[in-house]
Structure 1
């Protein structure tokens, strides 16, 4: 599903070159649950942005479902992001003026899904994350863990082939973080592909495979 071959990304900061990714190569197969682990500044966010089609590499090749992303137009990249990838962020990225139901419904509106089908899929998504009774609440009326569950429902409502989670437990206490990880395991058991970006070894170890990144260089983690 995901293949990096010799991917590099360089930023120019204050007259210096920063190699966010330095000839990185890795692959992730359909149905895998993989964590990408590294400290702050290691290149994790850059890798996530490229995997999620939010950015493009300076050199090398990124294949998503066998197709080279660099050949996609911006319109095609937007379509890929909306239909193939379910994003889950550390800060939840919910729209504060909208209810949980409305936040989950939003990507379906972008896809042009009809109203009746949208509402059914929103109900099912919130039920899957255990929030069927909180759909009319706004983010400020929900705990951090509940907000992250809404974010997960928003990601899964489009039935993406890939879930891309960036530090999804970073703003949660340990108990709530464990509950969110249980949700990820359930998604994986249903056959979904999950890529989890984290700096936390304990979180990373829950994935079936770990990829470590440091100073833009990528290596597999044994054991």
Structure 2
């Protein structure tokens, strides 16, 4: 499903050349639950942005579903982001003026889904994360854990095949974080591919496979 071959991402800071990723290679199969673990500044978020087609590598090749990403047009990449990928971020990225229901509905509006189908899919997504009773509340009226559940429902509603989660428990207490991890296990059990970015070894160990990254290098892969 995902194959990165000798991927490098290079930044120039003053006279210095910095490799956020330095000839990193890895592969993820369909249906896997994989964590990418590393300290702050290790390159793991850069890796997620490249996997999620939010950024492009300066060197190397990214193959998605058997096709080199360079062969996709900008329109095709946008479609991949909107239909195939479900993004979940540490800071939730909810729009504060919208209710939970409206935040979850937003990607379906971008997809042009009809109103009746939007309503039904939003209802099911919020039920899946056990938050249908808070659907008319705005983010400021929800706890951190509830906001992350809304963010997961927003990712769920487009029916993606790949979930990319960047530090999804980073702003949550340990009990709430574990509840969110249980949701990821449920998503995985029904066949979704999950790539989870974290600096927390305990969270990383929840995955089937851990990929360690440090200073832009994929140093270690443990089963």
Matching of residues 141-156 of structure 1 within 5 Å: 141-156=141-156
Contact 1:56 1:70 in 2 (8 A): no
Query: Could you state the TM-score of these two structures normalised by the residue count of structure 1?
Result: 0.98
Q: Which residue of 2 aligns with 1:74?
A: 74
> 2: distance between equivalents of 1:90 and 1:179?
15
Q: Which residue of 1 aligns with 2:176?
A: 176
| 8 A contact 1:36–1:211 mirrored in 2 | yes
Q: Give 1:16's aligned residue.
A: 16
Contact 1:8 1:21 in 2 (8 A): yes
CA distance, structure 2, for counterparts of residue 91 and residue 129 of structure 1? 18
Equivalence for 2:186: 186
Check whether the contact 1:44–1:213 (CA below 8 A) recurs between aligned residues.
yes
Alpha-carbon distance in 2 for matches of 1:222, 1:102: 40
Provide the residue aligned with 1:106 in structure 2: 106
**2-structure distance, mates of 1:104, 1:90:** 17
CA distance in 1 between counterparts of 2:4 and 2:221 reads 17
Misfit runs of 4+, over 4 Å: none
1:167 paired with 2:167, answer: yes
| Structure 1 residue 69 displacement after superposition | 1.0
Matches within 5 A, 1:53-132: 53-132=53-132
TM-score by structure 2 length?
A: 0.98
The count of aligned residue pairs is 223
Q: Following the alignment from structure 1 to structure 2, what is the Cα–Cα distance between the partners of residues 41 and 13?
A: 15
Between the aligned partners of 1:222 and 1:167, the Cα distance in structure 2 is 20
| 1:173-203 Cα distance to aligned partner (Å, 9 max, x none) | 0000000000000000011000000000000
Displacement after TM superposition at 1:78 (Å): 1.2
Deviation (angstroms), 1:222: 2.6
Task: Please report how far the alpha carbon of residue 76 of structure 1 lies from its aligned counterpart in structure 2 after TM superposition.
Answer: 1.9
Structure 2 residue aligned with 1:40: 40
- Partner SS, residue 5 of structure 2: strand
Structure 1: tracts of 5 or more residues without a match: none
Q: Report deviation, 1:72.
A: 2.0
Are the counterparts in 2 of residues 105 and 122 from structure 1 also a CA contact under 8 Å?
yes
Give the Cα–Cα distance (whole angstroms) in 2 for the partners of residues 161 and 64 of structure 1.
Answer: 12
Deviation for aligned residue 1:220: 3.5
* Of 113-122 and 67-76, the range deviating more from structure 2: 67-76
Query: Structure 2: which 5+ runs fail to align?
Result: none
Cα deviations by residue, 1:21-76 (Å, 9 ceiling, x for unpaired): 11111000000000000001100111010000000001111011111112222222
Question: RMSD value over aligned CA atoms?
Answer: 0.8
